[in-house]
Amino acid sequence: MIVSPDKKPVPPPGDDKAVLSPYLKLAVLLCMVLAVAAVFKWTNIGAYFTRDNIEATLSDMGPWAPLGFVVIYAVSTVLGVPGTILTIIGGVVFGAYVGTILIVIGATIGASGAFFVARFLARDFITEMFGKTRWFGKLDKGVEDQGLYFILFIRLVPIFPFNGINFASGLTRIRFRDYFIATAIGIIPASFVFANAASKAAMAASGGTIGFGFYLSFALLGVLALTPTIYKSIKARKKKGYEQNK
């Protein structure tokens, strides 16, 4: 620390930058969020994300449609656009199996992009605000040590919004490798269930045979929708049993 002639401490070069950097990064993130929100509110870009428009775009791409779908899914995920409609489109256009592969690739790439946006633009601010608190330190360390299993669990059990997990994960100290692997594996079941149901429904709507697979696909969709409720019920019972045994 340098002392000025009037005996007031002067921070060494770079200290002011280090202090301001988290806030500047957060300001950049907020500007990006406001810019995206403004574009969707005051332009017609939102109409592009309709099912008919996306399906028409993929049809025009011809053999490049799979790559185009992956890019659209990835960009949409980074922007925070809900992926349900894109998942349905993937199943309708590409079928259950190829659609699932493309959905998982696009969603994982997009989730990675959202992760890095939060990691580089907001992580420093969160650390600056809560880094010295005990609860944050324990949470941060726990997520770093058990990140693979933690992310895998919340991807398999859809309790929290997909896009919310993407950005929230970037605020923690979780290793990107663990986050990437857990995301890629964890979203496969839900992606297949939605893509399969959409594919079977599209086949039935076009005059195809409604067989056992059609009913099974929607049964699986119902099970997936009930998964959070089942999980919460099991957790509540365990908690009640624990309290009774105390």
Which residue type occupies 2?
I
3-state secondary structure of 9: strand
Listed in sequence order, the residues at least 6 apart from 186 whose beta carbon sits closer than 8 Å to its beta carbon are 151, 152, 153, 154, 155, 156
pLDDT at 19: 47
pLDDT at 235: 67
Q: Please report, for the chain, the start and end positions of each structural domain, with discontinuous segments joined by +.
A: 44-196
**8 Å CB contact between 186 and 151:** yes
pLDDT at 208: 64
pLDDT at 16: 46
- Rounded to a whole number, what is the distance in angstroms from the first to the last CA of the chain? 55
> How many residues are recorded in the chain?
246
Question: For the chain (length 246 residues), average pLDDT per consecutive 10?
Answer: 49 48 83 84 76 88 95 93 90 93 97 94 83 76 85 83 90 92 92 89 74 70 70 68 60
Distance CA(91)–CA(217), nearest Å, equals 12
pLDDT at 124: 83
